[in-house]
Every structure is written in C-alpha cells, then in structure tokens.
Structure 1
C-alpha cells in the first residue's frame, strides 16, 4: 500500500493537518455555545450553517478553481478557513458564528474538490482503491485526533481556536510546495434527482436519512456527552471513538454486501444502528460501555452512506456513476443540514432525545427497506458492483472510485 501512496503523500499530509485543525470546530463551537447558555435548537441552527456552506460550495467553488488554478485556490480556501477559525475567539455570538460556520463549509468544499481532483489525477486505475483508502484514513484519523484540541488551554479561552488555526494554516505548505501537476476540473451534470429516486428508492432514502443522522450527531453529539457529566477530555474521547469506530466496520459490511443482496445488508445495518442508538439513549453513565456503544454506532452509521451509494450504483451504467454522485451528495447534504435542527428540537425535551431521534430515523428506513425487499426484485449477481468505501465529501470523490472510471 505504501508505494501507491508515496506519490500523493503531500496531499494526504495536507488533509490530515487540515482535519486535525478544522475537524474539532463542530464539537468546539457546540460546546462553547452550550456553555454560554444557548439552547440546543440554537446550537443546531449554527451547525446547520456549516452543512449549508458545504452544499453551496460543492456546487459552485469549482468555478474559482478553474479560474485561478488548484494551488492558488487551495491556498485561498485554507487562508480564509484559518482566518474564520481565529474569528471565533473574537466574540461569541450565535448569529456571527452561523456566518463563520457557513464560510467554513464553503472553504472545506473547495479544499475537498482541490485535493480529490488532484488525487484522481495521480491515481493509476490499479491503485485507485488504495489511494481512496489512504485518503479516508488521513481524513478520519485527522478528524479524530483533532477532537483532543477541545480541552487544551483555560476554560473559555481562545487557545483551542488559535491552535486549530495554526494547524489549518500549516496544511497549505505541503500543497504549495508540491510538484504534482494540477488537473483540469471537469463539471459533471448531475442526474435528475427524480430519476435517481426512481432508479433506487432505498439508496436515495437511505442516503438522505444517513445525512440527517450524521448531521445531528456532529452538531449535537458533544452536547449529549457534556450533559451526561463528561468533562472536555472525556467528551473528546467519546467523539473520537465514534469517528474511529466509523472506519472499522465499513470494509467488513461492504464485503458482506458484495456476497448477498445489498438491500439486506442495508436493512440490517439500519436495524443495528436503531438498536445501538436506543442503547446510547439509555446509557446514562459515562463509562467504557458508553464509549464502546459510541464506537459501534459510528461503525454502523458511517458505513451507511457508501452502502447506499453502492446500491444506487448497482442500478446505473458505469458512465452515469460520477454524475449520479452529485445527486447523492445533494441528498446527503440536505439531510445533514436538517439533522442539527431536528436533533436540537428533540434535545429540548430530554438529553437522550438526540439518540431517540436517531433510532426513529433508522427504524423508518428499516421499515422502508423491508417494504422494498417485499415489492421489488434484487439486483442480479452479475450486475451487482464491487463495494468501495467513500467519504461523504463532494461529488469529486466519486472519481477515485474504480467503478466510476470504467467508461
């Protein structure tokens, strides 16, 4: 694996450092807002602004990249992201922080598109899977490591924002000095959303609900942990356990879905996610059992997006898959933007309302999936594509999928 990653090591280093600095912001902003007396619905609205920025950026920042080139665009996005991170330390105001989170989402979308198109340019067809795996490891391990910035410095100080900004700024260095030739950014016209649903109802419903679940968790998971009595270090450990758990089950569940009707694996995973969410809703003591349940929850829910994408791809021609990824990301992003709001509303009634909501969401898709199993035939074995783990970033990530390059 290592020889395949050496040509793109500067890009992987950049994404690790960027996520180590920027990955904690959703947790940090939620905790600081809660400490200031903001309600969960208000915290959810601030979290929603990030996903709204990510969605808008995924649709439009390619024009900036095409106009000025990858290195200049990447440097600009990182510089703005670093500046917005410092701006949090100036004044705590939910409206101001919503604007900053929207800017963060725009910048992250630009960074992802730059890096993913670069990785696609450098990855040979036979190494795409390894490059994608390396990219996901760098992304999620950076995000997990960054959670531990949560407790550094004095309570209420701007020190975590300063350190996060430093890491974000440093992430520009490997890219600014890279000798990798910048690719041309192509813009795929996404498939019509209605057609995507008609092609794969379970894939689209599953993708959207997964977005709701992940958006709600990222926006409010730290508040759930804090209200259980966890200190900042324990909250960081809990969030990190969920993220790292999210990496652990993607491969085995994916391989299982290659051997059986993929819909059965999706239904099973949603069912297991519902049970795990119920367990988290009633585990009121912050101990090792809570961390284990959190890691299992992450392992199940993080696997749902690539499973639903794989199921949708089973119904598409190879030349449609990259275009379809744009619609899938939009469905996911719409769900992720709604997740913190509905999660915040659920938590106004009780702290465990967050995971009761997630259990309800998963149960809904479980029921829908069972109905689809009873009313529609499975994809023939010959047409079922090999599973590939995918990050929930931008449509550009689909170009790293070996199946998406079979044109």
Structure 2
C-alpha cells in the first residue's frame, strides 16, 4: 500500500495546492461583491456560473485530454485557471467576474478529470480504497486551509488573488515533472436521468437536493457569516469548520447506513441537516454558537451525496455502477448551479438567515420524498446493500475510483 501511495504523491500534492488556491475564491469574491454593493441575487449568479462551467467541463474536457495528453491538458487547464484568477484584479464587475468563474469551473473540471484518471490508473484492488481516502483528504484539507488566505487582502486588495494564482501555478510543477505515464480515460457513459430515476428515485432526487444545498452554501455562506457581523478571519474559520465537519461524520454515518435500511439513514441525515439549518437561520444574530453548528452542518450535509450513491448502487448490476455514479455527479452539479439563485432570493427577502431557511426547506422536501419512497418500495435487505464509500462530487471520472465499482465492474 505504501509504495502505491508514494507513487501518486505528486498527484495528491498537486490537488492539495490546487484546492488551497481555488477553494476560497468563491468566499472571497462573494465578500468583495457584497462590499461593492452588488445584490445577493447577482452574487448567487456568480456561483451558478461556476457550477455551469464545472458541469460543461465534466462533459467536454475529456476530448481535449484525449487529443493532447494528460500532462499538456493539465498544464493548459491550470494555466487558464491561474490567468482567470489574476484577471479578477483587473476589473471588479459582476458580468466580468461571472465569465471568469465560468472559465474557472470549466478549467477545474478538466483538472479533476486528469487527476482522477491518473489515480485510477495507479490504483490496484488492494490500494484503491486507500488512494481514494488520501485523495479526499487532499481535497478537503486544501479547501479548508485555503479559506485562511481571505485575510491577506486587508492592505493590498489584489494579494489574495495573487496568492491563489501562485499556488495554482506551483501545482503544475509536480505534474509537469512526473514520470507517471498518461492513462486512457476511464469511466463509462453516465446513465440518463430518466433511467436513474427509474432505478433509484431517492438516489437521484437526494443527489440533486444535496447539490442545491451545497451550491447555495458555497456561493453565499460567506455572505451569511458577514451578515452576522463576522470579520474575514471569523468568516474563514466558519467556512473551514463546515468543510472539516464534512470529514468528521463520514465514517460513522456510513457505517450506520451499512447496518440498517439505508433509506432511513438518508432520511435521518436530511432531517438532521434541515434541523441544524433551521437553527442556524434562527440564530442569525448569535455568531458565538454558529461555528459549532457549522461544524455539525458540514458533517451531515457532506455525507448525503455518498449515501445517495451507495443507495443507488444497491439496485444496480456491477457493470452499471460507474455509469450511474457519473450520472449522479452531473445531477448534483446541475442542482448546485440552481441552488445559489434560489438561496440568494431567500436572503434578499429574509436577510442572512434566509440562506439556511432555504436549506432547511430543501432538506424537508427531501425528507418528505424519502418517506413516500419508503411506503411504495420494499427495502433492500441489509446483506445485499453495497458498502458505503466516501466519494468526491467532482466529475464522472471520480466514479472509477470507487472500490465498489472498480472491483466488480
């Protein structure tokens, strides 16, 4: 296992640097636009532009990689991302930044496809789970650590964007110098949304609702924190705690879903997410307790997507799982593109707490749908349920890293 992990250390280091450089940009841009008097609806549209680019990139970037190879494509995608980040310092205007965020989403999708197909190439049945776990750690750790770069702009407003561009540029070096051969792109054609719904209605609806919730949070979570009177250091801490929480409860909740009817665990997790969101909305004037609740919120909401993937896999043949997981990633991404717009409308009408009131309502809708599905379909016997696996919500290629799909498919 150790030699296999050492063989991908350059890939893991690159993804950590990339997430450290890019993970805080949504927070930074939201705060800058709000300070400039931009409406929350327009700030939400910035988030929608990013997820639209991410979705399109997940569908189209593979063709570029196949044409020029992984290393050249990776370098091009990161260079484009770095350039668009620096371009943010040229002109702070909603339309311009929306275009840049679309480009950044498009570029990051290409980066994820390169990294994930490389990791899949290096993984064996014995090391696949460990490699996926370390990949997730690099993703979340980089994203969480990057939040603390927010405070760099107190004296020099352009400095956070410059720092992000530097980190992105440095992330190219380990890949450009790697001796790992470029693999063939793995994965399968994602299953259609109609077919996914017929196979697992709760799986696809749960993934979509999770996308709506996390898309809304990532786009406007910083505006919520700032509306509570938090400064940039406190806002960075709040955002990083939510991301940290996303790691803490993954294994305990996953194990529960392996032992009991997974639908009940999904419904319970949505219910818990909704309850915590409601409290965060009600306590919008109590920043002293928001950090703890943010940790709990992250711990619950981040488990929902892998729960939905595992539940969908319970109804699939082994050779269908990669395609289904890829389809669920796209469903999630579409939901994430819609979420910021609706969340922004809620905040405009209600105030900062409107973000979490909306998230609570979305979670309640998922709970209601899940309860209905329990009544019309028999549960999968526990011994036939597929093992829960922590998964990234990046591109369809990520499905090939899942040991439950790769070993059997």
Find the counterpart in structure 1 of residue 370 from structure 2: 369
Distance 2:84 2:119 in 1: 27
Find the counterpart in structure 1 of residue 274 from structure 2: 274
Find the counterpart in structure 2 of residue 389 from structure 1: 390
Find the counterpart in structure 2 of residue 114 from structure 1: 114
Find the counterpart in structure 2 of residue 32 from structure 1: 32
Distance 2:54 2:165 in 1: 19
The alpha-carbon deviation at position 285 of structure 1 amounts to 4.2
Distance 1:288 1:45 in 2: 30
Distance 1:29 1:160 in 2: 10
Distance 2:284 2:79 in 1: 41
Find the counterpart in structure 2 of residue 355 from structure 1: 356
Q: Tell me if the contact between 1:54 and 1:105 (Cα under 8 Å) persists in the aligned partners.
A: yes
* Of 174-183 and 375-384, the range deviating more from structure 2: 375-384
| 1:171-197: CA deviation from partner (whole Å, max 9, x where unpaired) | 000111111111011462221211100
User: After superposition, where does 1:60-71 map in structure 2 within 5 Å?
Assistant: 60-71=60-71
Find the counterpart in structure 2 of residue 173 from structure 1: 173
Q: Tell me if the contact between 1:280 and 1:355 (Cα under 8 Å) persists in the aligned partners.
A: yes
Distance 1:155 1:379 in 2: 58
Distance 1:376 1:355 in 2: 31
C-alpha change, 1:370 and 1:187, in structure 2 (3 Å) is closer
Q: Tell me if the contact between 1:203 and 1:311 (Cα under 8 Å) persists in the aligned partners.
A: yes
Distance 2:56 2:238 in 1: 30
The alpha-carbon deviation at position 383 of structure 1 amounts to 2.3
Q: Tell me if the contact between 1:229 and 1:286 (Cα under 8 Å) persists in the aligned partners.
A: no
C-alpha change, 1:187 and 1:266, in structure 2 (3 Å) is closer
The alpha-carbon deviation at position 287 of structure 1 amounts to 4.1
Find the counterpart in structure 2 of residue 338 from structure 1: 338
User: After superposition, where does 1:82-161 map in structure 2 within 5 Å?
Assistant: 82-154=82-154, 157-161=157-161
**SS in structure 1 opposite 2:126?**
helix
Find the counterpart in structure 2 of residue 310 from structure 1: 310
TM-score by length of 2: 0.98
Q: Tell me if the contact between 2:207 and 2:328 (Cα under 8 Å) persists in the aligned partners.
A: yes
**SS in structure 2 opposite 1:258?**
helix
Structure 2: which 5+ residue stretches go unaligned? none
Find the counterpart in structure 2 of residue 224 from structure 1: 224
Distance 1:190 1:153 in 2: 42
C-alpha change, 1:279 and 1:156, in structure 2 (3 Å) is farther
* Of 298-307 and 176-185, the range deviating more from structure 2: 176-185
Is 1:18 aligned with 2:18?
yes
Find the counterpart in structure 1 of residue 41 from structure 2: 41
Distance 1:380 1:24 in 2: 42
Distance 2:321 2:393 in 1: 15
Find the counterpart in structure 2 of residue 73 from structure 1: 73
Distance 2:156 2:32 in 1: 7
User: After superposition, where does 1:238-277 map in structure 2 within 5 Å?
Assistant: 238-277=238-277
Distance 1:4 1:377 in 2: 41
Q: Tell me if the contact between 2:187 and 2:400 (Cα under 8 Å) persists in the aligned partners.
A: no
C-alpha change, 1:286 and 1:159, in structure 2 (3 Å) is farther
Distance 1:373 1:3 in 2: 45
Q: Tell me if the contact between 1:314 and 1:385 (Cα under 8 Å) persists in the aligned partners.
A: yes
Distance 1:134 1:48 in 2: 29
C-alpha change, 1:38 and 1:130, in structure 2 (3 Å) is same
Find the counterpart in structure 2 of residue 8 from structure 1: 8
TM-score by length of 1: 0.98
Structure 1: which 5+ residue stretches go unaligned? none
Q: How many residues align?
A: 407
Distance 1:260 1:329 in 2: 25
**SS in structure 1 opposite 2:165?**
helix
Is 1:291 aligned with 2:291?
yes
Distance 1:165 1:33 in 2: 20
The alpha-carbon deviation at position 2 of structure 1 amounts to 4.8
Over the aligned positions, Cα root-mean-square deviation in angstroms equals 1.1
| 1:267-290: CA deviation from partner (whole Å, max 9, x where unpaired) | 000000010001111223454421
**SS in structure 2 opposite 1:61?**
helix
Distance 2:210 2:39 in 1: 24
Distance 1:65 1:187 in 2: 14
Q: Tell me if the contact between 2:248 and 2:299 (Cα under 8 Å) persists in the aligned partners.
A: yes
